[in-house]
Amino acid sequence: MHAAALERNGGVTLVVAPSGGGKSTTAWALLHRGFRYASDELAPIDLESGEVHGFPHALCLKTDPPGGAYPLPEGTLYTRRARHIPVEYLPAPLAPCPVRLDTIVFLDRRTAVVAPSIRGIGAAEAAARLYPQSLNPLAHPADGTDAAVRIVRRARCFHLEASDLDSICRLVLSTVS
């Protein structure tokens, strides 16, 4: 899956959003709030066991985190397109992997959200949101839509709508705890 994967209390939370939707920035902030890092951008999921495998490479942010609350470490590598934070500079340890999938948060970062909100969603809506974030689903016909349904049935699924990073973290923490 194209998602950030973070562990807390023995379960993985996937943060899912389209490219540029704030997955990595949210992961960076949540690592400062008690989550452990499994992966960014790629979350391999075993369809049989429902476990998420780690793919711990550098966390890649397109821009600096907003508001200055989560500054980047001195070891950050800057390129024209991104900021790469090597694993050894993350503010939290790596997650023990594989880890059971617990929660999927579909992140919707809107700039004009009046009141941040999170709501539970059913398997049909979650599968429809997850499928486009799978990697190369058409190359694996038996593992496309069916796989998305299998994955979301193993997890609690939520749609989170917020504009600021602190609200996103607060809502994820209250949902996962």
**pLDDT band with cut points at 50, 70 and 90 for residue 163:** confident
Average pLDDT rounded to a whole number, residues 21-32: 95
Cα–Cα distance between 129 and 151 in angstroms, integer? Answer: 12
Average pLDDT rounded to a whole number, residues 132-136: 81
Mean pLDDT across the chain, nearest whole number?
A: 92
Global pTM value: 0.94
Q: Which CATH class is domain 4-176?
A: alpha beta
**Who wins on pLDDT, 177 or 144?**
177
In the beta sheet, which residues pair with residue 97? none
Cα–Cα distance between 48 and 117 in angstroms, integer? Answer: 32
